[in-house]
Amino acid sequence: MKTTTLINKEDKLVVLTGAGISAESGIKTFRDSDGLWENHSIEDVATPSAFTRDPSLVWDFYAARYNQILEVKPNPGHYALKQLEDHLGDNFLLITQNIDGLHRLAGSKNVLEMHGSIDKCYCNKCEKTISTADVIAHRPASNSKTERYPSILKNKHQWFKCSKCSGLNRPDIIWFGEIPYHLDEIIARLRECTIFLVAGTSGVVYPAAQFLLMAKQHGAKTIGINLDAPMNVDFIEEFHQGKSGDILPSLVKKWIE
């Protein structure tokens, strides 16, 4: 679809990004056939009860995710959104469902990470914050390729134990059953935005999936970019099918010319 949109400095733009834009940088998504949750059910690694039941398994899983993210870089889609932020300043807000920090790495400042960030942790008792890098720095090397690390360790919780109290550090990630961050601020911005752009989302994960309709109901023009039509495509006025990294750079150039 051809774009007829021009984004002026007076426009208030809210962007929502999902796993699709990170997948283009090489990060697996849990919806891939060989994806993020392979060999693990959601209940085993991405719920508060999973952490209570087996925190070592959860940390083993997220340590692998963290190390993978250290090896990837932002793609042209991330940088195109940074260009939009440079154009609009405080009239730009980026909401992301992704936990990888690639938007911040690309230079975006006005970012709300509604599902948290994998590079941060906090104690499940005293809530002291710490970087994931500092936690993983205490992770002992596995001494067996055949045994699952770190559950085999005698003191298996010791390396991610809080230094202040008897609690355990956990990834600062919103798990299934938990309330996303920044919802009040997000809703306020959706009510006043003039353009709502959604990129790389399937339109099935709530509450983010309802942001599109909320913005539209308050008068915003809605634009979507995704490899496949999302479930809520009927609420998108201008849909561009394809990869964000391929489409966004040329669209942004037209939008702000």
Instruction: Tell whether 144 and 131 lie within a shared domain.
Output: yes
All residues at 6 or more sequence positions from 87 whose CB lies less than 8 Å from its CB, including other chains: 7, 9, 256
**pLDDT value of position 37:** 55
Q: What is the mean pLDDT of residues 73-96?
A: 98
Say whether 188 sits in a helix, a strand or coil: helix
Q: Is the pLDDT of residue 146 over 70?
A: no
Residue 135 and residue 231 in one domain: no
Amino acid 140: pLDDT = 79
CATH of the domain at 46: 3.30.1600.10
Give the mean model confidence (pLDDT) for residues 194-215: 92
Q: How confident is the model at residue 156 (pLDDT cuts 50, 70, 90)?
A: low
Query: Does residue 257 surpass a pLDDT of 90?
Result: no
Strand partners, 224: 198, 239
Residues 134 and 229 in one domain: no
Report whether 50 contacts 41 (CB < 8 A): no
Active site residues: 115
Structural domain for 130, as ranges: 30-71+118-173
When pLDDT is cut at 50, 70 and 90, the band that residue 147 belongs to is: very low
Pick the range with the lowest mean pLDDT from 94-98, 187-191, 224-228.
224-228
Task: Assess whether 140 and 104 both reside in one domain.
Answer: no
Number of C-beta neighbours around residue 231 at 10 A:
13
pLDDT at 153 over 50: no
Q: What is the DSSP string of 39-84?
A: TS-HHHHSSHHHHHH-HHHHHHHHHHHHHHHTT----HHHHHHHHH
CATH number at residue 17: 3.40.50.1220
The predicted pLDDT at position 29 comes to 66
Is 123 in the same domain as 200?
no
Number of structural domains in the chain: 2
**Residue 194 shares a structural domain with residue 235:** yes
Please check whether residue 111 is in contact with residue 96, taking contact to mean a CB–CB distance below 8 angstroms: yes
